[in-house]
Amino acid sequence: MKYPKAFKFQLKINPAQRRKLSRFAGCSRFVWNNALALQKQRLDEKRHCLSYNDLAAKLVGWKKEDATSFLKDAHSQPLQQTLKHLDRALKDAFNKKNPKQFPKFKKRGCGDSFRYPEGFKIDEHNSRVFLPKIGYVRYRNSQSIEGKAKNITVSRELDAWYISIGVEHNPVTMPHKNKSAIGVDMGIAKFATLSDGTHFKSVHSFRRAAVGLRYYQRCLKNKKKFSNNWRKAIKKVRLLHNKISNVRKDYLQKTSTAISKNHAVVVLEDLQVKNMSRSAAGTKERPGKNVRAKSGLNKSILDQGWGELRRQLEYKQLWRGGKVIAISPQNTSRRCSSCGYIAAANRKTQARFKCISCHFTLNADLNAARNILAAGHAVLACGETTTLSRSVKQEPTLSAATAA
């Protein structure tokens, strides 16, 4: 199996290139929004969505119209890619088994990006890339690119522009350099606890910045839309969002690298984060229970990025020749890792585990991590690596999440 990997670099651009990049991103956004509006209208009229080929034909038409002839300035392939992405997003939204969010209209400066599927050249030696219709652009050469480049995505984050080079790797035939297996318990108080006793503390990057964020968001409300002060305030909000996301990304990357480097087999609970972070408020007819406590837990889960950690571990293990096993989270926090006795009473507090059968005591997260590892060994012994039944993690005290 070949697997994808991406290398991201910041671009070093001059004002003329910056204008071009902005314009190209603007064209992509225009194409996305126009095509999405078209599809939405068809859906409202109870008609089928247009296919990618129909949309591509529409794009040719738009280029010929006077009002939208500016689309001719941009390279045609990134615009076609945008239509392909929209097509994918719509198909994902109507996927009956695992529906994703319906695609949204794009706003200027939010998630600006476009992709070249071919036509680019990478000149690593001189730290530059050739982007069709833009020319050679220099980049901060922070790492060497391994594998065959398949595409380049250009994106903007605040005022900086980046390229992400997607490559395809050949399968790893070398086994992982370590032989150990480890169980990982993901939690609220501690982000992750390993079965060997190592733990990674919470980042709570969002909570730390939430106060500042609330302040600037309140400022925004009192300002006249599109005034200079409104623009300044919106920039502050975006800066803060960007900072939060960078702190989080950096921490997640470091954590997943540390775990993946040291262990050939990583065992995790198969958590449905989407379920757990669903709105706790409920509906008017059926209001949710423990709304405050649950929304605290939701915020923590989203803040912690459990799903993202799993995703990163999965691909990093693939690179290193290791593997990830997902096991059912049922009873992992209630089972005694010493004698196997299962009871809710075993875990009276968030932090401590005390077996009522054999009186074994241990840190509750560590006890869970050991159970997770044992379940992983059982899966390995059976010779199967498929995931077991999915269920939701039982956290005994939700109030601990809000207190954190």
- Total residues contacting Zn ion by CB under 5 A comes to 8
- We find the least distance from the C-beta atom of residue 139 to Zn ion, in angstroms, to be 57
Nearer to Zn ion, 215 or 341 (CB): 341
- We find the least distance from the C-beta atom of residue 361 to Zn ion, in angstroms, to be 9
Options 18-26, 177-185, 339-347, 363-371: segment touching Zn ion (CB under 5 A) = 339-347
- Residue 170: other Cβ atoms inside 10 A: 10
Distance, in Å, from the CA atom of 160 to the CA atom of 139, rounded to the nearest integer, reads 12
- We find the least distance from the C-beta atom of residue 178 to Zn ion, in angstroms, to be 30
CA angle 162, 168, 170 (to 5 degrees): 145
Nearer to Zn ion, 9 or 353 (CB): 353
Quick check: 343 binds Zn ion (CB under 5 A)?
no
Q: Pick the binder of Zn ion from 239, 249, 341, 395 (CB under 5 A).
A: 341
54 catalytic per annotation: no
Quick check: 338 binds Zn ion (CB under 5 A)?
yes
Distance, in Å, from the CA atom of 113 to the CA atom of 131, rounded to the nearest integer, reads 14
Options 20-28, 54-62, 314-322, 355-363: segment touching Zn ion (CB under 5 A) = 355-363
Active site residue: 87, 112, 303, 365, which one?
365
Q: Pick the binder of Zn ion from 181, 297, 355, 400 (CB under 5 A).
A: 355
112 catalytic per annotation: no
- We find the least distance from the C-beta atom of residue 358 to Zn ion, in angstroms, to be 3
Active site residue: 118, 185, 303, 395, which one?
185
Options 58-66, 241-249, 338-346, 385-393: segment touching Zn ion (CB under 5 A) = 338-346
Closest CA to 183 of 369, 313, 363: 369
Active site residue: 54, 269, 308, 384, which one?
269
Laid out side by side, the sheet with 190-194 consists of 199-201, 190-194, 181-186, 265-269, 323-327
Distance, in Å, from the CA atom of 226 to the CA atom of 83, rounded to the nearest integer, reads 30
Nearer to Zn ion, 312 or 367 (CB): 367
Residue 45 CA: distances (Å) to CA of 141, 316, 400: 50, 46, 49
Beta carbons within 8 Å of 115's beta carbon, 6+ residues apart: 78, 81, 82, 85, 151, 152, 153, 154
Nearer to Zn ion, 273 or 336 (CB): 336
- We find the least distance from the C-beta atom of residue 354 to Zn ion, in angstroms, to be 9
Residue 305 CA: distances (Å) to CA of 108, 204, 327, 374, 387: 27, 10, 18, 24, 20
Q: Pick the binder of Zn ion from 318, 336, 362, 366 (CB under 5 A).
A: 336
Q: Pick the binder of Zn ion from 3, 230, 315, 360 (CB under 5 A).
A: 360
Distance, in Å, from the CA atom of 19 to the CA atom of 116, rounded to the nearest integer, reads 18
Quick check: 203 binds Zn ion (CB under 5 A)?
no
User: Under rule CB under 5 A, which residues in 5-24 are in contact with Zn ion?
Assistant: none
Nearer to Zn ion, 153 or 330 (CB): 330
269 catalytic per annotation: yes
Nearer to Zn ion, 276 or 336 (CB): 336
Options 167-175, 217-225, 302-310, 360-368: segment touching Zn ion (CB under 5 A) = 360-368
Distance, in Å, from the CA atom of 397 to the CA atom of 172, rounded to the nearest integer, reads 43
- We find the least distance from the C-beta atom of residue 389 to Zn ion, in angstroms, to be 25
Quick check: 397 binds Zn ion (CB under 5 A)?
no
Quick check: 358 binds Zn ion (CB under 5 A)?
yes
Distance, in Å, from the CA atom of 68 to the CA atom of 13, rounded to the nearest integer, reads 27
Q: x/- string (CB under 5 A) for Zn ion, residues 309-328?
A: --------------------
Interface with Zn ion by CB under 5 A: which residues?
Answer: 336, 338-339, 341, 355, 357-358, 360
Known catalytic residues are 185, 269, 365
